[in-house]
Amino acid sequence: MEKFAIGVDLGGSNLRIGAYTQSGKHLGSVAFPTNAASGYIPVIEKMCDSIRCLYQEASGHGEFAGVGIGSPGPLSLPDGVLHNPPNLPGWDGVELRREITRRLPWPIWVDSDANVAAFAECRLGAGAEYGLDSLCMVTLGTGVGGGIVLDGKLWHGLNGAAGEVGHGPLILDGPPCNCGARGCLEVYASATAVVRRARELGLANETGASQGDLTAARIAQLASEGNAVARKVYDEAGYALGLGLANLVNTLNLSLYTIGGGVSAAWELFAPRMFATIEELSYVYRMSQPDRWDIFQPRRTHICRARLGSDAGLLGAALLPFQRAD
């Protein structure tokens, strides 16, 4: 009988908790609004109550490996200490692992939401599909996050901030980013950036949409229908992704890079410019370039959409207890 574990996807809006076996079989889950503004104590109490309930329900399914938490950042690892997390206002300094460990009798792992998504994608998504145990995942959501899995383990670095590929100088005269740099990947390829850029270019007026209606998904739809401004916005996102990936390919030389998060649904709109940019600017990519970018070829650099969709974070959190320790 397989072991099982419980994962928590602690989002700024929603808190999701799921029990899964080691191979990713879903045993049960719950979800409710996080209500982060109520302060961390009631949220963590409710989270722990739900974990206990799920444990009771799933405990016939084998040995219990523990609980994994995927949290918004920035946070220091392994203790999961939050540092002014923009998506959990008022939670600065909360020591997630300690708070949960004092309430539950099981081993607790904490990691960033982007890291756990990358870990799931490696173990049960594109990594598993291609038989690879290393990848870099870039998550295009409200912000841009990233995670790096090397030889089957998350690469955390000094304090868990490794894989922050959404930040750092990329286009030096680009818009300022909250991180202090300018022209980061996040200011071009996040959902927020796509909407901001479309507004700058007058898309809202052009289509008659009110400001509130304009989402990254709506802009993608307009682009698919041929709207030139909407196409330009995604083309620019593709260029920034190409620049970022060119640097990542030269630094890491991995076999697999996956693009996830909500914006990745617009893959067809940004991928052509992204691939053209990587090919032009990364000689390491050209050394191991596949004949076609839409088919995986062993010993070639493959860049593709993530496979797991919006469950990647929950699933990845539940896989943390199964990460080998060494």
Tokens of 298: 């062993």
Which residue, 156 or 218, is less far from its own copies as judged by CB?
156
Which residue, 109 or 257, is less far from its own copies as judged by CB?
257
Angle at 114 between CA 271 and CA 54, to 5 degrees: 125
The whole-angstrom separation of Cα 326 and Cα 324 is 6
Which residue, 294 or 326, is less far from its own copies as judged by CB?
326
Q: How many CB atoms lie within 10 A of CB 326?
A: 4
Tokens of 181: 């740099």
Q: How many CB atoms lie within 10 A of CB 298?
A: 10
| DSSP 3-state of 133 | coil
For the bound state, the minimum distance from the C-beta of residue 262 to its own copies, rounded and expressed in Å, comes to 22
Question: Scanning residues 205 to 264, which ones bind its own copies (CB under 8 A)?
Answer: 243, 246-255
For the bound state, the minimum distance from the C-beta of residue 32 to its own copies, rounded and expressed in Å, comes to 31
For the bound state, the minimum distance from the C-beta of residue 134 to its own copies, rounded and expressed in Å, comes to 8
Q: Does 196 bind its own copies (CB under 8 A)?
A: no
Cβ burial 124-151 (10 Å sphere, 16+ → b, else e):
bbbbbeeebebbbbbbbbbbbbbbbbee
For the bound state, the minimum distance from the C-beta of residue 168 to its own copies, rounded and expressed in Å, comes to 4
| DSSP 3-state of 19 | strand
For the bound state, the minimum distance from the C-beta of residue 25 to its own copies, rounded and expressed in Å, comes to 30
For the bound state, the minimum distance from the C-beta of residue 115 to its own copies, rounded and expressed in Å, comes to 11
For the bound state, the minimum distance from the C-beta of residue 95 to its own copies, rounded and expressed in Å, comes to 16
- The residue from 157, 176, 202, 268 that contacts its own copies (CB under 8 A) is 157
**Beta carbons of 316 and 16 less than 8 angstroms apart:** no
Question: Scanning residues 16 to 75, which ones bind its own copies (CB under 8 A)?
Answer: 74
For the bound state, the minimum distance from the C-beta of residue 180 to its own copies, rounded and expressed in Å, comes to 6
The whole-angstrom separation of Cα 102 and Cα 314 is 22
Q: Does 158 bind its own copies (CB under 8 A)?
A: yes
Number of residues counted as binding its own copies (CB under 8 A): 48
- The residue from 192, 215, 227, 288 that contacts its own copies (CB under 8 A) is 288
| DSSP 3-state of 237 | helix
Taking contact as CB under 8 A, which single stretch among the options 121-129, 223-231, 297-305, 315-323 is the one that binds its own copies? Answer: 297-305
Determine whether 114 is exposed, middle or buried from the number of CB atoms within 10 Å of its CB (0-12, 13-18, 19+). buried
- The residue from 85, 163, 260, 313 that contacts its own copies (CB under 8 A) is 163
The whole-angstrom separation of Cα 182 and Cα 165 is 14
Half-sphere exposure of 290 (CA within 13 A, CB side): 16
For the bound state, the minimum distance from the C-beta of residue 286 to its own copies, rounded and expressed in Å, comes to 7
- The residue from 44, 58, 138, 162 that contacts its own copies (CB under 8 A) is 162
**Beta carbons of 320 and 8 less than 8 angstroms apart:** no
DSSP states of 220-232:
HHHHHTT-HHHHH
The whole-angstrom separation of Cα 112 and Cα 198 is 30
- The residue from 230, 282, 293, 312 that contacts its own copies (CB under 8 A) is 282
- The residue from 53, 104, 128, 161 that contacts its own copies (CB under 8 A) is 161
Question: Scanning residues 137 to 156, which ones bind its own copies (CB under 8 A)?
Answer: 146, 148, 150, 155-156
The footprint of its own copies (CB under 8 A) covers 74, 76, 83, 146, 148, 150, 155-165, 167-172, 179-181, 243, 246-255, 280-284, 286-288, 299-301
